[in-house]
Structure 1
């Protein structure tokens, strides 16, 4: 199986509690690494928050997804305008991998350069409830699509519309 075969538009539950999503990004790898560790760059596709690359270092992620959406794409009423997650850096290997705590699980970003592109593999563990699987799968999918657009210099889709349609699609893909 080639790396080309390993990417799919949608994430996959590779175990009952683990989601994996892959995306090809334009390199070089150091530029993509900066989108993971630099709070200002990360806020353009995911969440703000200063990061110290040290195992155990605290990390607060701050989502303001309205900033990633067009004014004509309103936030769902049951979702707050801002969300914060107290986290910590678990491990890192510069330009290769970053693992952070995420609730009862972890999120690992792995970067694999191939020519002028970089394969990003995101693994999110600790997803036990179906509702969390749907929210997180759609969220990572939409946020990684924003990262692809940001890294490629293309116009991104509006976050909320994308997330809402993806949540419905993942409801069809993830068994009850």
Structure 2
């Protein structure tokens, strides 16, 4: 399912929802344990998992460069929110009868040419996260990203 973009004061919020057939604890582990996190979002690395802690965004370009991002909100097994560019990204988990609901929200101050690329990236990474939870690993699927990017170009230009 495509992200929904809502205009809010100060910008926009993109919202992705995924109903997963896994427990909150299993999904939380994939979000917060570096050995699992790197398999679906290779740029992120948890340094200090706590409110005001740090997540690194590794450039993965061979230079060893990274950006430190502050954890803005943290509630064990429930909420992980961190800085993302001039906005933030927030993961929320809530238990459901047959697993859990994962909601990813991204604050986007200004829609730009890069927005559709970023949203397609999150979309594909969430698919990779789901695949990992199902016991499989996949490399970043560039072809899938391109497909979703075309769809998100339409979404952000509506």
TM-score (norm 2): 0.85
Q: Tell which deviates more after alignment, 47-56 or 117-126.
A: 47-56
- Separation in 2 of the partners of 1:81 and 1:141? 25
Gaps of 5+ in 1: 1-8, 65-79
Over 3 Å counting, the alpha-carbon distance change for 1:81 and 1:14 in structure 2 is farther
Q: CA deviation at 1:155?
A: 6.0
SS in 2 for 1:90: strand
Q: CA deviation at 1:81?
A: 7.3
Corresponding residue for 2:82? 100
- Give 1 or 2: higher strand fraction: 2
- Separation in 2 of the partners of 1:36 and 1:174? 26
TM-score (norm 1): 0.77
Q: CA deviation at 1:157?
A: 7.2
Work out which of the residue numbers 36, 39, 43 in structure 2 matches 1:41.
Answer: 36
1:118-129 aligned within 5 A:
118-129=100-111
Corresponding residue for 1:76? none
Corresponding residue for 1:14? 6
Report the number of matched residues.
153
Over 3 Å counting, the alpha-carbon distance change for 1:53 and 1:13 in structure 2 is same
1:6-155 aligned within 5 A:
9-15=1-7, 16-47=11-42, 48-62=44-58, 64=60, 84-154=66-136
Q: CA deviation at 1:154?
A: 4.5
Gaps of 5+ in 2: none
